[in-house]
Structure formats: structure tokens, C-alpha cells
């Protein structure tokens, strides 16, 4: 714990219908962070899962390092924002990761050990297999961030990001609570912060369990919505 009483790290993990893997994912992250001797709090936000996820998470009730929050379904983006708001008052650094086990905790030390001198550190998903639609949307998102905010973040929507809480606090009030992809907007805002951004390759594997909630035309619909929100919402760090 730091001198001001805050923890070193708060982890934000949104969860939706991941009963097949959630216990393994939580245990893996918990054990990895403990092995690195980090003083942390893991916030697990169950976004109204319809399967047995909530039941799986009951074992962590009262855990000294893990806080489970069961909430009505609001979507991935709003759930992330809810977690960020909880986390920024808890720790010096905020890390966001998804619960689908596509990016392993075994690579986290690469970000953590190199955090000095950076305001934010991002994983770059390597070996990622994407369909044409998602590749196009990723490219458009990346181009939009560069056009509006400038260069700095390579993988603008990666769910493997370590950010100083002091910077995130200045960005969150400018992002509407219903934003579909807040991480894209946050990436853009951080790109204006004097280039204090680190990008580190992190292997990506396809999900082995669960299902992708946005498919086919729904993907293009929410991508267009995300694009408009990114253009309209332009928080900049002072």
C-alpha cells in the first residue's frame, strides 16, 4: 500500500456469460498478481449474465482482494466505465482486462515492470485471428483516433491496458455512461498526453468458451455508433 493509503493496482474485469472459464480466469489473475507482490484489488463486474456466472462467483464473497459486483445488464462499455469509476479511488494504477481468457496474465509483468515514466501502457494483440468485418472496424477505429487525437496508441480498443489513475480521473467525467466503446475514447485522450504511452506485444488466443455477443449486422451497427461517440466525445488531458 502506498503512503496515501491507496493500493498499487486496481483491476477492472467485466464479465458476461463466462461460467465455463470465469473461475479459472479469476484464479489465474489473482495468483499472478500475488506472485508479483502487488498490493491490488480485483473488481469483477458481472453484467447481468444469464448463465451460471453469478453462481460461480459466489465463492469470492468476502474475499480480501476480490470484489464481485452483480449488476443489471448494460453492455460491455458501460460496465467498464462503472468499474473505472470504482477503481480510480482505490489505487494508483488501473488495469482493465476482459474475462474471456484471450490475453493471459502471464504477460502482465511486461507492462508492470516497465510502467515507470509512462502514463499508460497498452498490450498489442499479436497472432490475432479476425474476420474481415472486425479487421475493417479495427482499422477505422485506429484511423479515427489518430485523426482526432494523434498517434500514440497502436491497438486502440485492446482490453489489456494499464493506466495511471490520476490520468483516468481527468478523462472519465467527459465520457457518457452509455458509451459503447469507452476504451477507444480513453486511448484517444491519452494520445494527447505528451506521448507517455508504452505499447507492448501480448499474444492473443481465440476464445475457447462462451460466445461473442455481437455478430453479423449487429457488429456494424454498434461500430457506427461507437464511431459517432468517438467523434463527438473529445476529452483532452490538461
Which residue, 196, 18, 140, 10, is CA-closest to 1? 10
Q: Which sign, positive or negative, has the C-alpha torsion 171, 235, 223, 73?
A: positive
Q: Is 132 exposed, middle or buried (0-12, 13-18, 19+ CB in 10 A)?
A: exposed
- pLDDT tens digits, residue range 164-176? 999 999 999 999 9
pLDDT at 216: 44
Confidence (pTM): 0.84
Domains, the chain: 7-232 (3.90.550.10)
In whole angstroms, give the CA distance from residue 224 to residue 232. 12
β-bridge pairing 197-203 and 120-126: parallel
pLDDT the model gives residue 126: 83
Per the DSSP assignment, residues forming a β-bridge with 203 are 126
Higher pLDDT, 150 or 204: 204
Give the pLDDT score at 215: 46
**49-63, 111-125, 215-229: lowest mean pLDDT where?**
215-229
Lowest mean pLDDT among 13-22, 30-39, 65-74, 185-194: 185-194
pLDDT in tens, 6-62: 899 999 999 999 999 999 999 999 999 999 999 999 999 999 999 999 999 999 999
Nearest to 120 by CA among 216, 28, 194, 219: 194
Q: What is the DSSP letter of 158?
A: -
Round to whole Å and give the CA distance between 134 and 127: 15
> Would you say residue 230 has pLDDT above 80?
no
Pick from 11-20, 182-191, 225-234: least confident: 225-234
Residues 179/84, Cβ–Cβ less than 8 Å = no
Cα separation values, 200 from 56, 92, 160, 234, 235, Å: 32, 20, 10, 25, 24
Instruction: Please determine, for residue 132, whether its predicted confidence score (pLDDT) is greater than 60.
Output: no
Least confident of 15-19, 69-73, 149-153, 163-167: 149-153
Amino acid at each position: 500500500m502506498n503512503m496515501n493509503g491507496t493500493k498499487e493496482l486496481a483491476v477492472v474485469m467485466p464479465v458476461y456469460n463466462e461460467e465455463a472459464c470465469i473461475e479459472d480466469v479469476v484464479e489465474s489473475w489473482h495468483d499472478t498478481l500475488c506472485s508479483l507482490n502487488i498490493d491490488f484489488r480485483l473488481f469483477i463486474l458481472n453484467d447481468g449474465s444469464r448463465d451460471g456466472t453469478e453462481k460461480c462467483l459466489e465463492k469470492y464473497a468476502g474475499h480480501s482482494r476480490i470484489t464481485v459486483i452483480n449488476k443489471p445488464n448494460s453492455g460491455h462499455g458501460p460496465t467498464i466505465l462503472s468499474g473505472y469509476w470504482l477503481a480510480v479511488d482505490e489505487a494508483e494504477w488501473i488495469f482493465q482486462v476482459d474475462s474471456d481468457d484471450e490475453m493471459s496474465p502471464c504477460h502482465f509483468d511486461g507492462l508492470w515492470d516497465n510502467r515507470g515514466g509512462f502514463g499508460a501502457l497498452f498490450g498489442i494483440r499479436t497472432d490475432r485471428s479476425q474476420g474481415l468485418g472486425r479487421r475493417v472496424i479495427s482499422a477505422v477505429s485506429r484511423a479515427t483516433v489518430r485523426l482526432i487525437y494523434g498517434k500514440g496508441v497502436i491497438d486502440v480498443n485492446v482490453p489489456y491496458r494499464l493506466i495511471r489513475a490520476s490520468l483516468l480521473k481527468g478523462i472519465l467525467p467527459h465520457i457518457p455512461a452509455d458509451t459503447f466503446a469507452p476504451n477507444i475514447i480513453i486511448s484517444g485522450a491519452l494520445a494527447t498526453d505528451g506521448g507517455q504511452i508504452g505499447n507492448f506485444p501480448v499474444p492473443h488466443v481465440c476464445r475457447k468458451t462462451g460466445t461473442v455477443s455481437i455478430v453479423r449486422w449487429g457488429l456494424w451497427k454498434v461500430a457506427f455508433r461507437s464511431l459517432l461517440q468517438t467523434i463527438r466525445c473529445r476529452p483532452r488531458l490538461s
